[in-house]
Amino acid sequence: MTTAARQATEPAPLPSALVERLLDHAVAGDAPPVAIFAPATGAKIADLPQSSTADIDRAFATAREAQREWAERSVGERTAVLRDLHDIVLTEQRAILDIVQIETGKSRAHAFDEVGDVAVNARYYASIAHRLLADRAARGVLPVLTKVEVRHRPKGVVAVISPWNYPLALAVSDALPALVAGNAVISRPDNQTALTALWAIDAAVRAGLPRGLWQAVLGRGSVIGGEVIGRADYVDYTGSSATGRTIAQQAGARLIGCSLELGGKNPLLVLADADVSRAARIAIRACFASAGQLCESMERVYVHDSVYDRFVAEFVDHVRAIELGADLDYSADMGSLTFPRQLDTVRAHVDDAVAKGATVLAGGRARPDLGPYFYEPTVLADVRPDMTVHREETFGPVVSIYRVGSDEEAIAAANDTAYGLNASVWTKDARRGREVAARINAGSVNVNEGFIAAWGSADAPSGGLGISGTGRRHGPEGLLKYTDTQTIAVQRVLPIAPLPGMSEELWAKTMTAYFTVMKTLRLK
């Protein structure tokens, strides 16, 4: 079994002038720097300055001052920045695609998904923010006499703690709605992919965002995460379910809100009436985007017995044709893993499964000949519940295929997990697809797609059930979570109290009559 491959060439180091310019948006330098290396080649990218407590204090102080002025600006002025950022990301995509690829080791096609994600979210929130943030009139307790309006106030300074796997999408697309809602943002990108986040801040400043409103602090999450959360007014966190619990505790202790976007063990169901060839082709992207280091990617595939052999044959053919590499062009299909620990996990899951009797249908080995952390896209069959890969998130290019006899069996198997992030259902009957989808415990279900139909539809919320998280990004929820509502009620002409000389008893009787009439007339 062979997986085509291209030896990764040493990426051109990022120009030092560019790195210097980007680091200007980070408040860091007091703590010792950390060297960052390109996963695909092992070449050094930069010595990344780290933030001390004093740096973090300074970042928040600057952000608070900038936020006061920003919140006074009209929504139109704020959305103008998003519109310009949208254009910059598209026109300067070569620059940011290079940085994303160098920092993560992913293929260019998978990096482009991130550029698309920023464009979609910038355009969406630029177009909808005005309506979402408008004051709303609410019904008063006494019609006409009580005038009520509901306003949306920005939280203040929002902390966005983002991981390394989709460093542009996850740093930017959560920051944009926070900014447009009138907040400042302090980003804590992963060290490995900090330059990507800093490029985005730089682009936003060039698009008209006031300097200081969006800054980054740099450091390992376990070192500075608590300090960031300790100063923020709201926390947006993306990462593992285990760390999500820590973040929730820290936010809870301060009684601030948090949105947690966590892990997944996502199922893909191929029903008996599926377009098998299309399912087999699209499942490749659904399983191996960013070498499987995608929270939404598919790690479990349940195929109806009647189409199992055909699906597996076509799927495995596609997998074997995947070309590995991370050159800074569109030549490779799939790139490298990003960290040695990801490679360790992938190896451990596959080796454990094989030792317990699983069959490797494709892949199954590391490719150090290509770069330190390359691993072949891998398909396993005969996976049983006692194998680690059956239940635990691998977060790598490993998918297990199971044969099922009915939709019921597929749904039950799909739901046999504590996670609930994303799912995919394949059928030629859209109604049947929707019915099956509604029975799967996942925040998003894609019918005849893997993840991009739901994820890319920015108007619809995205997030997890179960241990896959709380809170939502995208859609109205993805912006309104960064605001507090404030109700302002103005009482006119008469107070809501007994008139002078009226007894409390008569007031109670009058109000009882009023409530009864309101219900009879069906007035709310």
Token pair belonging to 96: 């940011």
Residues in the chain: 524
Tell me which residue of 300, 271, 308 sits closest to 429, measured CA to CA.
271
Q: Select from 238, 266, 394, 444 the one that contacts ligand NAD (CB under 6 A).
A: 238
User: Which is nearer to ligand NAD, 170 or 184 (by Cβ)?
Assistant: 170
Residue (of 439, 480, 428) closest to 150 by Cα position: 480
| Residue closer to ligand NAD (CB basis): 322 or 421 | 421
Q: Is the CB of residue 234 less than 8 Å from the CB of residue 177?
A: no
User: Which are the catalytic amino acids?
Assistant: 261
Query: Can you tell me the distance from the alpha carbon of 205 to that of 85, in angstroms, rounded to the nearest whole number?
Result: 9
How many Å apart are CA 505 and CA 511, to the nearest integer?
Answer: 10
Residues 292-321 vs ligand NAD: string with x where CB under 6 A?
---x--------------------------
Secondary structure, 3-state, 77-111: HHHHHHHHHHHHHHHCHHHHHHHHHHHHCCCHHHH
Could you tell me which residues come within 8 angstroms of residue 507 by beta carbon, excluding any fewer than 6 positions away? 497, 498
Asked if residue 261 binds ligand NAD (CB under 6 A), the reply is: yes
CB 228 to ligand NAD: min, Å: 7
Q: Which of residues 412-431 bind ligand NAD (CB under 6 A)?
A: 421
User: What is the Rg, in whole angstroms, of the alpha carbon atoms belonging to the chain?
Assistant: 26
290 binds ligand NAD (CB under 6 A): no
From candidates 239, 267, 363, 377, binder to ligand NAD by CB under 6 A: 239
- Tell whether residue 394 is a contact of ligand NAD (CB under 6 A): no
Provide the pairing of β-strand 422-426 with 266-270: parallel
Among 85, 120, 157, 161, binds ligand NAD (CB under 6 A): 161
Which residues in 321-360 contact ligand NAD (CB under 6 A)? none
Q: Which of residues 58-117 bind ligand NAD (CB under 6 A)?
A: none
Binding mask 190-209 for ligand NAD (x = CB under 6 A): x-------------------
Contacts of 373 (CB under 8 A, 6+ apart): 39, 40, 105, 336, 337, 338, 339, 340, 342, 343, 366
Q: Is there binding between residue 245 and ligand NAD (CB under 6 A)?
A: no
Shorter beta-carbon distance to ligand NAD: residue 295 or 312: 295
Q: Scanning residues 24 to 63, which ones bind ligand NAD (CB under 6 A)?
A: none
Could you tell me the smallest distance in angstroms from the CB atom of residue 379 to ligand NAD? 20
Window contacting ligand NAD (CB under 6 A); options: 111-119, 133-141, 262-270, 322-330: 262-270
Helix and strand numbers, DSSP H then E, in the chain: 18, 18
How many residues lie near ligand NAD (CB under 6 A)?
Answer: 27
Contacts to ligand NAD from residues 163-182, by CB under 6 A: 163-166, 170
Cβ proximity to ligand NAD, 79 vs 297, nearer residue? 297
Among 264, 363, 397, 433, binds ligand NAD (CB under 6 A): 264
Residues 6 or more apart from 160 whose CB is under 8 A from it? Answer: 171, 174, 175, 178, 185, 186, 187, 188, 236
339 φ/ψ angles, rounded to the nearest 5 degrees: -130, 155
Helix axes 75-91, 108-133, angle to 10 degrees: 170
Token pair in block for residue 168: 């542009």
Interface pick for ligand NAD out of 156, 221, 371, 471 (rule CB under 6 A): 221
Which listed residue (113, 227, 393, 407) binds ligand NAD by CB under 6 A? 393
Q: How far is the CB of 47 from ligand NAD (least distance, A)?
A: 18
Contacting range for ligand NAD; rule: CB under 6 A; set: 20-28, 239-247, 299-307, 322-330: 239-247
Residue type, 89: V
User: Would you count residue 159 as binding ligand NAD (CB under 6 A)?
Assistant: no
Give the interface with ligand NAD as residue ranges (CB under 6 A): 161, 163-166, 170, 190, 220-222, 225, 238-240, 243, 246-247, 261-264, 295, 393, 395, 421, 464, 469
